[in-house]
Amino acid sequence: MKGIEYASSFNLNPNKWMLVNFDCSAMWVADRVKLTDALTVDPLYLQHDYSNRSIDYRNWSIPLSRRFRSLKLWFVIRSYGVEGLQQYIREHIRLAKVFESKMREDSRFEIVHTVNTGLVCFRLKGAENSLNERLLSSINETGHLHMVPAMLKKRYTIRFCVCSPTATEEDMEHASATIKEWATVITEMDEMEDAVQELRPTNSKTESDSSLDQAGSDPDEPSDNFCVVQTTRKGSIFVPRTPFARLVSDPEYYRRLSNP
């Protein structure tokens, strides 16, 4: 491993990327004496005749007894082989590159790091953190994908990780298409909400104006003064009807104009 000569210890979790059930951590140390000297407890009742001829793993951690976690790691290595595990990891990295290329095809997204493993971090380019957060929560609620966030340099970022042993390029296509579809929905809803704010009156309010605001603030109780322009799992977006639309659909509005 390049650069390992500068490390005094190295820890990895085979339960994350080596097909081993949780929990299992593997630790390498450059000098085991420094570790065992710090943790060794050697009362008379723990001493034995083989202490100079064997590695006593009770001195490698705080508890004296240990679960046999290495056994399940041994079984996985025996089943797949070293080359099989290498191929498994390389395939996940390749699929992550496939996903990255599909996301780069859409100019709305940016990849925020160099993809070297099975992890791809991306976000809506130039969008506020709140919009990226809405995108992630909307996708996760569908149950079709599950991703987790990260905050990189105060920017809300979405983390996509290839995890399934049976993942294929078709899965990468499905994942990227789902993300792009929801990005369209979320951005259109955001634009509509901005349009509603611009259409709402900012001057002195009449009784009719107040009813418009009340209807727009409660999506479950739409008013005749509003029409539905978008309905999603999150609710509906309402925009005010034009005077002409109200004129032909609201007799009371017509009578008010005829008899001021």
pLDDT(216) > 50: no
Kindly report, residue by residue over 93-118, the tens digit of the pLDDT: 999 999 999 999 999 999 999 999 99
Question: What does pLDDT average to over the chain?
Answer: 79
Nearest Cα to Cα of residue 238 among 202, 201, 192, 173: 192
pLDDT(140) > 90: yes
pLDDT(19) > 60: yes
Question: What is d(CA 85, CA 105) in angstroms, rounded to the nearest whole number?
Answer: 31
- Angle at CA 168, nearest 5°, toward 162 and 170? 110
pTM of the model: 0.66
pLDDT > 70 in the chain, percent: 72
Q: What residues contact 78, with CB distance under 8 A and at least 6 apart?
A: none
Joined tokens for residue 143: 């149950």
138 vs 201, residue with greater confidence: 138
Beta strand spans in the chain (E): 9-12, 26-29, 109-111, 119-124, 148-152, 155-161, 226-232, 235-240
In order of 21, 26, 37, 60, 136, the CA distances from 6 in angstroms are 30, 19, 21, 21, 38
250 vs 142, residue with greater confidence: 142
Kindly report, residue by residue over 38-68, the tens digit of the pLDDT: 777 777 667 777 777 777 777 777 667 777 8
Q: What is the mean pLDDT of residues 180-204?
A: 74
56: Cα within 13 Å, side-chain hemisphere? 20
DSSP reduced 3-state for 29: strand
238 vs 39, residue with greater confidence: 39
Q: What pLDDT is attached to residue 41?
A: 73
Q: What pLDDT is attached to residue 260?
A: 57
Q: What residues contact 35, with CB distance under 8 A and at least 6 apart?
A: 9, 29, 60
pLDDT(37) > 60: yes
Q: What is the CA radius of gyration of the chain?
A: 30
Question: What is d(CA 156, CA 59) in angstroms, rounded to the nearest whole number?
Answer: 43
pLDDT(205) > 60: no
Q: What is the mean pLDDT of residues 204-213?
A: 47
